[in-house]
Amino acid sequence: MSSRVQSMQAGASNKHASRRPTTAALAMATLRTAMRLIARLSPALAGRVMDRLWFRAPRTRPDAAAQASLATARRDDFLLHGQRVATWTWGESGPCVLLMHGWGGHAGQLHAFVRPLLAAGFRVAAFDAPAHGASGASRHGQQRVTFFEFADALRAVEARVGPLAGIVAHSGGCSAVALAMRQGWRAPRSLVFVAPFCEPQAAIDGFARQLGVGPAAVARFTARAARWLGIDWRDLDIATLPQDVHRGDLLILHDNADREVPLAQSQRLAAAWPGARLIVTQGGGHRRLLSLPQVVQNAALFLVERQAMPGPQRRYRPADSRGELDRAFEATANFWRRNRA
């Protein structure tokens, strides 16, 4: 969730940068110095600052290729929690596959999957999560957002485009899919997780090191966030999904050069998810692998093969079904109440 801090850190450590400090490096150094001082004076205040940084999603803009792909889709916005959510759909018929970006991303990041999936006979849908891309703020205002809002948007989009045949999710988008499943949402038959952010709690230590704060501030931050969300941090780990949760077939694609999410997280997820398959790529990093032919081709082939396999089909529901949306939000409310009890 700390993409802004990570991006500044990357700018500071770029081996090809000039010896003169970059703006990002200076900003990171200033932030670290300020956080160290705040943490010494008041760990509680440092924990509150960490909270503001952790849950603040950076806005990123689609590049030219992503914009060109989005321009070929039908744009359809709707309101969620009183805020606008931007969605795009490609294709007129066929089972629908949803593309789901991660923290700090946008729908256009997965544009490389659109043409192959259309060619395979699928419809394709994508959306910008609340406080991301072209969508409005989340219910928390400004850029503050959580994976709960991602999960709410996922269910709302499915209610509009019809039942999903599959999902291709990236990074934190995978966390949101798993959270929706934990809340009672029934996942589609086929799931493709690309560089899944499997263990949010494991990222806190690295986040704290970047900020230069110690255990006291970290403890205040984790406790504060857990109280606000109403859950234990372990409940956000994908591998800890209860055994009775309905699971789709899972393909995991992860790059061995990923510096944001360790490959070991996907290895643990593959071991915990019955029947999951893990493909390790090389040289794609955390985001570039979204355009690697190996990744796109394996994802499309997996979805096609699973679609062709016999099995129970989900009954069609009208895209404007309010009942489905009401049940989805009721499941969310029940989940929060159970975990706060």
pTM > 0.95: yes or no? no
Interatomic CA distance for residues 232 and 225, integer angstroms? 9
Q: Which residues are CB-neighbours of 202 under 8 A, at least 6 positions away?
A: 265
pLDDT of 29: 78
Q: Measuring CA to CA, which residue among 203, 156, 174 is closest to residue 9?
A: 203
**Digitized pLDDT (tens) for each residue of the chain, 341 residues in all:** 544 444 444 444 444 444 556 776 777 777 777 888 887 888 899 899 999 999 999 999 999 999 999 999 999 999 999 999 999 999 998 999 999 999 999 999 999 999 999 999 999 999 999 999 999 999 998 889 999 999 999 999 999 998 999 999 999 999 999 999 999 999 999 999 999 999 988 899 888 988 888 899 999 999 999 999 888 888 889 999 988 888 889 999 999 999 999 999 999 999 999 999 999 999 899 999 999 999 999 999 999 998 887 765 433 233 333 343 343 344 434 443 444 44
- The CATH code of the domain at 64-199+231-340 is 3.40.50.1820
> What is the per-residue DSSP string for 119-177?
HTT-EEEEEPPTTSTTS---TT-TTB--HHHHHHHHHHHHHHH-SEEEEEEETHHHHHH
Residue 67, CA distances (Å) to 18, 62, 73, 283 in order: 31, 6, 10, 25
The pLDDT value recorded for residue 330 is 45
3-class SS string, 68-105: HHHHCCEECCEEECCEEECEEEECCCCCEEEEECCCCC
SS3 19: coil
Q: Where are the domains of the chain?
A: 64-199+231-340
Pairing of strands 87-90, 74-75: antiparallel
Neighbours of 316 (CB within 10 A): 9
